[in-house]
Amino acid sequence: MASQDPISRLAQQLGERLQGASQAPEEIHKGVQQVVRGAFDRLDLVSREDFDILMDVMQRTRIRVEALEQQVTALEAALAARSDEATTAGKAPKVDDGHPEEDAGGGEAGR
């Protein structure tokens, strides 16, 4: 038999608690609170405070990602422009690899 969804179980449990309506209203209230609290404990819920905190973090993260996307787009455009300039000048674009240029003659100077 398939398990019932949480709402159906909650309704069934509440119905069972209210069957004894001859009980004092305080006892009914306590019983309903226990059933509802138990149902909420089984669900994956977060507090409103935690939700708001996470929404704030997500918003700040989204702003940072958008700024980084803009920076990447600007850098790609600058690289493409630099590459186009070098191509029109008939040279391959010079890439700075951080190493000083070496002498093409194998290091022998003054021959």
Q: Which residues of 32-65 are buried (b: 16+ CB within 10 A; e: fewer)?
A: eeebeeebeeeeeeeeeeeeeeeeeeeeeeeeee
Domain ranges of the chain: 8-45, 46-90
User: What is d(CA 68, CA 53) in angstroms, rounded to the nearest whole number?
Assistant: 23
Q: What is the pLDDT of residues 42-80, one digit of tens each?
A: 787 888 999 999 999 999 999 999 999 999 999 999 999
What confidence tier does 8 reach under pLDDT thresholds 50, 70, 90? confident
Tell me if the pTM is above 0.75: no
Percent of the chain with pLDDT over 90: 30
Helices (H), the chain: 6-19, 25-42, 48-88
Residue 34, SS3 per DSSP: helix
pLDDT at position 100 over 70? no
Q: For residue 57, what pLDDT is reported?
A: 97
pLDDT at position 92 over 80? no
Q: For residue 111, what pLDDT is reported?
A: 41
